[in-house]
Amino acid sequence: MLKSEMISEFTRQISDKLSGAGLPGEAEMKSQVQRVAESVFSKLNLVTREEFDIQNEVLLRTRSKVESLEQQVKALEEIVKTLSEQ
């Protein structure tokens, strides 16, 4: 999940963009943006880049193992086929 500091950084950047506009109720708008962002992000099931990279590494290792096992099975099938033909 996204950490609260990431959401805060996101809302800070939005607030920075709105700050120079001189709009009335800037403080209220800031807190509304914070609440909306937290609500939206919590529903999105997002992960951090670090979590994504870790899972990507796990996936690559798993894929490599599967390919190796597929080769072993194929070799064993050839052996069984050869033996059954004799």
Whether residue 61 is predicted with pLDDT greater than 80 in this model: the reply is yes
Q: Please give the model's pTM, rounded to 2 decimal places.
A: 0.54
Q: What torsion do the CA atoms of 27, 32, 37, 42 make, to the nearest 10 degrees?
A: 130
**Domain that includes residue 20, residue range:** 1-46
As for how many domains the chain has, the answer is 2
Do residues 5 and 42 share a domain? yes
Q: Are 66 and 82 part of one and the same domain?
A: yes
Whether pLDDT at 64 is above 80: yes
- Quick one: 3 and 38 in the same domain? yes
Question: Which residues make Cβ contacts (< 8 Å) with residue 46, sequence separation at least 6?
Answer: 1, 2
pLDDT of residue 62 exceeding 60: yes
* 40 and 4 in a common domain: yes
Residues 41 and 8 placed together within one structural domain of the fold: yes
Please check whether residues 56 and 81 belong to one and the same domain. Answer: yes
Same domain for 31 and 54, yes or no, is: no
